[in-house]
């Protein structure tokens, strides 16, 4: 079917529902409204006005001919953005910053002459990017802490539940369901530590001028270097930041974007690992992600319960991990004090990286909150493999009963191979215990052998490790972040 031509009147139902243009799945399907607003045009332009007010106030305080009346006028119109005027002006001048300077001036005739005084476009553009990323990181952090909190509840609940551990996805010495959850948690804690470090190091660009030399401000202040030096710290304080980067070209170093996206990619790695484990466990029917009453698992196979949310985590995580390449390329190819080949890329890679990780964390929280554990299936799988894992204990009991360790070791090896063949080639249950009981070299009855079949004997320190980890690492972390706990996540699809 041919696509109808674009019609600005938007009168037909086709256009009312916006089906005539591409819409980002990150906005329509995955990211929260809160994260979407942080990267919205409205948020950007309101931040521009905050920055212009902070600049004007600071310039007044440092002695430039800016009046309190002008400041008051700017503040009075701060939130009443005349978008129609700015849009029309941009059609004429082809410059978004100057269009909004003009529109603000239309609303503030007394102050229009001092708006953006001495500044370049990067004063509002780059400082806003920093502010937006900082707020987005705060939301990511909040969700990350809540996922950790939910995993902590899960780990505590199942700290004593023995389960087969796997190396190479082959059955290995048992662990507990709760201990495995601490592995997922530990990676998220590392991500949180990285996030806090990077977020704590972020500074504003400040007012650095066209090449970072602050020449325009030195001129404004009649060569008074002391006043120029005070400008950036005073602006930063007004905006709630500890300071500005001490040196820059026209822009802040694009390595900042790279460092931030690396944090998101790290979270994506951890989430992907978790989603892989859940998908494998769901295949084993040991643990399942939430499945709603009316949810359809497959269009063809009505009985299926596909791990769709975990698969979506993996899919979005792949996107974020690949997205981190964008700011790396941008940072490494900037020329001297700046080039503009960063702009289009930044407009895509930074917001969409955050929108994707926001969706990932909502999915992660939703999955953990509704995980279903099937202890009977876990026990069945455990008991099918446990005789192999109990052979060391069995051998020690046989030695106590008078056997020779070296001879018994060889017999257990031979009998284990026989039992393994029975399972794999003949489809039998594991009959290793019966084979050992029938071998006079061991001098042990089947009942005596079965006494070694308590899975809890083989989980080592796992339950204690969970409790120690929760007590020493997680509970203090959650206590320190009590103010952000209590989130739940509703997913769109």
The CA-atom distances, in angstroms, between 423 and each of 387, 420, 428 are 13, 5, 5
pLDDT at 444 over 50: yes
The whole-angstrom separation of Cα 381 and Cα 86 is 66
pLDDT for 292 equals 59
Q: Per-residue pLDDT averaged across 346-358, rounded? A: 97
Among the listed residues 9, 168, 294, 479, the single catalytic one is 168
Burial of 475 (0-12, 13-18, 19+ CB in 10 A): middle
Q: Average pLDDT, stretch 77-83?
A: 96
Residue-wise pLDDT for 81-99, tens only, equals 999 999 999 999 999 999 9
Domains along the chain with CATH numbers: 41-114 (1.10.275.10), 121-293+301-377 (1.20.200.10), 391-452 (1.10.40.30)
- Known active-site residue 445: no
More confident residue, 176 or 436: 176
Q: Are 325 and 262 in contact (CB under 8 A)?
A: no
Task: Dig out the tokens for 109 from the structure.
Answer: 């005739």
Prediction pTM value: 0.91
What percent of the chain shows pLDDT beyond 90? 76
271, 187 Cβ separation under 8 angstroms: no
Q: Which has the minimum average pLDDT: 188-192, 394-398, 472-476?
A: 394-398
User: If you write DSSP's letter for every residue of 27-47 in order, what string do you get?
Assistant: IIIIS-HHHHHHTSHHHHHHH
Q: How confident is the model at residue 12 (pLDDT cuts 50, 70, 90)?
A: very low
Task: Copy the structure tokens of residue 249.
Answer: 């070209």
Per-residue pLDDT band for 448 (boundaries 50, 70, 90) equals confident
Q: Which two tokens stand for residue 172?
A: 């290995």
Catalytic pick from 12, 298, 332, 445?
A: 298
Q: What's the rounded mean pLDDT across residues 30-57?
A: 97
pLDDT-derived band at 471 (thresholds 50, 70, 90) equals very high
Answer yes or no: 298 catalytic. Answer: yes
pLDDT greater than 60 at residue 14? no
Map residue 288 onto helix, strand or coil. strand
pLDDT confidence of residue 102 = 97
């Amino acid at each position: 079917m041919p696509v109808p031509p674009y019609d600005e009147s938007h009168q037909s139902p086709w256009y009312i529902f916006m089906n005539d243009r591409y819409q980002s799945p990150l906005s329509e399907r995955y990211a929260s409204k809160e994260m979407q607003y942080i990267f919205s045009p409205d948020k950007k332009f309101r931040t521009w006005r905050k920055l212009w007010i902070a600049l004007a106030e600071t310039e007044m305080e440092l002695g430039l001919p800016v009046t309190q009346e002008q400041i008051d006028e700017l503040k009075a119109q701060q939130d009443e953005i005349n978008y129609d005027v700015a849009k029309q002006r941009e059609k004429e001048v082809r410059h978004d910053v100057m269009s909004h300077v003009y529109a603000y001036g239309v609303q503030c005739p007394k102050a229009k002459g001092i708006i953006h005084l001495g500044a370049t476009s990067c004063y509002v553009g780059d400082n806003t990017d920093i502010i937006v990323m900082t707020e987005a990181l705060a939301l990511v952090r909040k969700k990350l802490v809540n996922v950790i909190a939910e995993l902590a509840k899960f780990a505590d609940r199942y700290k004593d539940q023995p389960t087969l551990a796997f190396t190479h996805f082959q059955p290995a010495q048992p662990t507990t369901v709760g201990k495995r959850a601490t592995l997922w948690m530990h990676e998220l804690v590392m991500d949180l530590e990285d996030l806090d470090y990077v977020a704590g190091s972020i500074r504003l660009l400040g007012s650095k001028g066209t090449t970072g030399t602050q020449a325009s401000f030195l001129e404004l202040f009649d060569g008074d270097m002391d006043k120029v030096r005070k400008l950036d710290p005073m602006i930063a304080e007004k905006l709630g930041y500890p300071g500005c980067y001490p040196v820059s070209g026209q822009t802040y170093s694009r390595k900042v974007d790279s460092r931030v996206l690396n944090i998101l990619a790290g979270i994506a790695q951890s989430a992907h690992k978790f989603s892989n484990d859940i998908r494998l466990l769901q295949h084993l029917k040991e643990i399942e992600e939430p499945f709603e009453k009316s949810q359809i698992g497959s269009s063809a196979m009505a009985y299926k319960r596909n791990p769709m949310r975990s698969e979506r985590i993996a899919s979005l995580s792949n996107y974020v991990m690949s997205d981190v390449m964008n700011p790396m390329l941008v940072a490494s190819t900037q020329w001297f004090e700046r080039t503009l080949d960063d702009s289009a890329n930044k407009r895509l890679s930074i917001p969409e990286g955050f929108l994707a990780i926001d969706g990932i964390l909502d999915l992660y929280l939703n999955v953990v909150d509704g995980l279903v554990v099937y202890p009977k299936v876990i026990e069945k799988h455990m008991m099918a493999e446990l005789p192999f894992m109990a052979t060391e204990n069995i051998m020690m009991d046989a030695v106590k009963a008078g056997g020779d360790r070296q001879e018994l070791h060889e017999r257990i090896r031979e009998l284990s191979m026989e039992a393994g063949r029975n399972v794999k080639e003949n489809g039998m249950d594991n009959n290793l215990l019966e084979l050992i009981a029938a071998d006079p070299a061991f001098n042990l009855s089947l009942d005596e052998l079965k006494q070694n079949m308590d899975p809890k004997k083989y989980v080592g320190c796992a339950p204690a490790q969970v409790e120690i980890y929760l007590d020493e690492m997680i509970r203090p972390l959650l206590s320190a972040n009590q103010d952000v706990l209590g989130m739940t996540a509703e997913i769109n699809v």
